[in-house]
Structure formats: C-alpha cells, structure tokens
Amino acid sequence: MSLPTGGRRRQLILSPQAQQGCAAACYHAGDRPPGHPRIVFIDAIELRILHLPLVRFFETSFGRTDERVLILVRVDGEGAVGWGECVADAHPFYSAETVRTAWHILSDYLVPAVLGRQFGHPREVGEALQFVRGHQMAKAALEMGAWDLAAQQAGVPLTRMLGGTRTAIASGVSIGIQPSLEELAERVALERAAGYQRVKIKIKPGWDVEAVSFLRQRFGDFPLMVDANAAYTVATSDRLRALDGFGLTMIEQPLDYDDIRDHATLQRALRTPICLDESITTVNRAEEAIALQACRVINVKPGRVGGHAASVALHDLCARHGIPVWHGGMLETGIGRAHNIHLASLPNFSLPGDIAASRRYFDPDLIDPPIEVRPDGTIPVPDAPGIGVIVVEERVASLTDEVLRLHA
C-alpha cells in the first residue's frame, strides 16, 4: 500500500503473516458479504502532535509535569469526522510507549492498515491492528477515532454503540503529590466543595501514611483512595500495611507494573482492596489477576488496553466475576475525556472514576463547551452523535507542533 506523506510516497511492506492477519480482520470494497451493511469507511487520517500547558502542575511517583504532549488522530470517512487521542506520555515512565513511539507505529504501520478500507463494525478496526504486537496506546488512539467516526456516520451517541446504560457518570478527582500537607488539604477541600464523589491522592514512600493520616484528621471519614503508580516493593510494603486502618476505598497499583503474583500475596495481607492499573494491559492479564485474586477492583483505561472494544471486553469480564471497575484518567484533553465519559456509562463502572472537569487541566480546552462537573458530582453523557462534543479546530491548529495527513 502506497501513501502520500508530505509530498513523498512511502510503501508499507508487511510480512506474509501480518498480511494474513490484516486481511482476516479488514474488508476491501468488493469483499462485503451480500446484505452486510457497511458501518465504517476510512478515506483519510490526520495525525497531530500538540503541546498543551497544564493549569497546574501534576506530580506522581514518576515525577512532576507542567504540560501535556499528545497525539490527536482525526479519522475522516464519507463526509464525517472522528477524533481519537493518544494518551502516551513524552517519557516512558507510566508505559513503555511514548509520543514518538506512537507516532512511528501509527504513521508507519497502523494507519496504512486501515486507510481505504470499510468495516462492518468499529470493533473490526481494532482487530485489523493486531498484527502489531503491543503499542496499545497507539492502537487505541486510532481505534477510538474509528468508533467516533462510526457513531457520527450512524447519527447516534457513542454510548449507544458501546452499550452504555447511564445518562450521567459519577466523577472523582485525582490529586497529585503536593509541596506540603497543608497544600494537600487545601486541594482536597477545594475538590470536595466542587462536588466530586471521591478523592484520590498520589502517594510514594515518604508521602503516604502521614498524608492519609493528616487528611483523616482534617476531614474525617469521606471516600478516599490512594494511587502508588507502582512505587513500592515487597520490601517496602510495610508502609502499605500501615494504610490498612484508614478506611480507604482502595490502594491502586502499589507494586510493579508486571507483578501479578506479589500483588496477590499483598492482597491476602490487606483488608483494603487492591486496584490494578498498569498491570492490566490486556484482557488476558485481567483474567490472570482475577484467577490469582491479585485485586478486588480494576481500573479501566482504553489507552492502556488498546481501545474501546478491549475495554468493553474487560468490563464484561470483570462483571462476570463480580469485580467492580472504574474509569481512570491520563490527563486527557476534552476529546479523550469525552470518549471516557461514554465508556464509563456502561453498567459495571460502579465506582466514581478519574474523569473530572476540563478546567482542572486545560484552560482553554480543545472543545467547546468544556466538560463540567455538576454540583452532585456527576457529568452528563453527551447525547449528540459520536463523542458529542465540538472540537475547536482553530485551537487545535494553534497548538500543533507537527502534522501528517494520509489519504487512501
């Protein structure tokens, strides 16, 4: 397949195995079975790298960030437009993927695999990308854009295509590591006053037991959880056991991202539920974690598992096993945040997620109007076609550092 890119043409050469896998999942124009409706046709894709300053720094055990560097994916087909957002960071700390690796995988492999093809359902787009191993965030950005496009073409909100059942979702908030305990308390007070139904604070060794104890003394009993982002080891897990008496709703990802077994050992030693995040990169990994009883809650992030179809499968798996799920956040703009709202409308998202108001992160956001949290701590699910928000393309263009347009 040859593609025009910036005045040059590049040729993508796939191995026979990759060609076979791609052909099994994709359809050419003349290959549609009789009577099978065409849902998605993709005739152009645009990739953009953007730099957006954060309203306020965000610090985790990985370090502090003051801006968001991201890839937007615009998917065009038959006059409709879908948008996806790649949640890979500029640095390989949360995930091995970065903005630059995602750009490479998207432009050189994933986009050529779907351009000029038609699909019976947007989930087939994700299937068409499986010839590439890993790179879930790059896959998710393109796959989620195709879901938005399909819903736009069908004239229905994305929630309906995904199987959502709610008209509003419960919103929680994530607060990064602060310079002092007093500043942490100020942030917590501010977010509770805004109506958020649950507060999550980031922790690391040295900023854990004291921070939680301080908040309990200051505010008493309220829905509170902590997120370690894999900052602890078995040797330092005594700090986690010390958190067991504070009535936390959960401890998120305390141990290493690839460690299911030690999480199972730790969960047996704790009354507080463990929630897994970074460890759950596929549905198979979730099955393993559930079988080993390594967690009692799972955080669903479509970027981490490869898109909406995998997220729905993960949601359904957890529902069958009685494992509640909630929707995590990756400092998304309003585009990615709108996708998250639609996904979080599914029934087993029974805990408040990290989908918060736009103004906490970006001012202005890339969408108008921005996403707002109501006084009762909920966010309405958009009911317009697709993700249901208006992307301000002039604003997107003004923040773009690099752009690549690819046509069938």
| Sequence ranges of the domains in the chain | 2-155+394-407, 161-388
Half-sphere exposure of 287 (CA within 13 A, CB side): 7
Type of residue at 267: Q
**What are the pLDDT digits (tens) for 122-167?**
999 999 999 999 999 999 999 999 999 999 999 999 999 999 999 9
Given a cut of 80, is residue 92 above it in pLDDT? yes
Given a cut of 70, is residue 10 above it in pLDDT? no
Residues 6 or more apart whose Cβ sits within 8 Å of residue 47: 71, 72, 73, 74, 103, 106, 107, 111, 403, 404, 406
**What are the pLDDT digits (tens) for 184-206?**
999 999 999 999 999 999 999 99
What average pLDDT does the chain have? 89
Q: Any idea which residue has 């965030």 for tokens? A: 137
Return the sign of the alpha-carbon dihedral for residues 145, 150, 151, 152.
positive
Q: What is the mean pLDDT of residues 230-258?
A: 94
Q: What is the mean pLDDT of residues 357-385?
A: 94
DSSP-derived 3-state class of residue 387: coil
How does residue 406 score in pLDDT terms, banded at 50, 70 and 90? Answer: very high
Would you say the CATH fold of 161-388 matches that of 2-155+394-407?
no
DSSP-derived 3-state class of residue 343: helix
C-alpha to C-alpha distance for 192 and 200, rounded to whole angstroms: 11
The token pair at 30 is 């003349």
Residue 386's nearest CA partner among 70, 29, 80, 3 is 80
User: In the prediction, which pLDDT does 24 show?
Assistant: 35
Q: Which of the residues are catalytic?
A: 202, 301
Q: What pTM was estimated for this model as a whole?
A: 0.89
- Rounding to the nearest 10 degrees, give the CA dihedral for residues 8, 148, 119, 329: 90
CATH architecture, range 2-155+394-407: 2-Layer Sandwich (3.30)
**What are the pLDDT digits (tens) for 14-66?**
333 333 333 333 333 333 333 334 578 899 999 999 999 888 877 777 778 88
User: In the prediction, which pLDDT does 38 show?
Assistant: 52
CATH annotation of 161-388: 3.20.20.120
User: In the prediction, which pLDDT does 64 show?
Assistant: 80
DSSP-derived 3-state class of residue 63: strand
Residues β-bridged to residue 168:
380
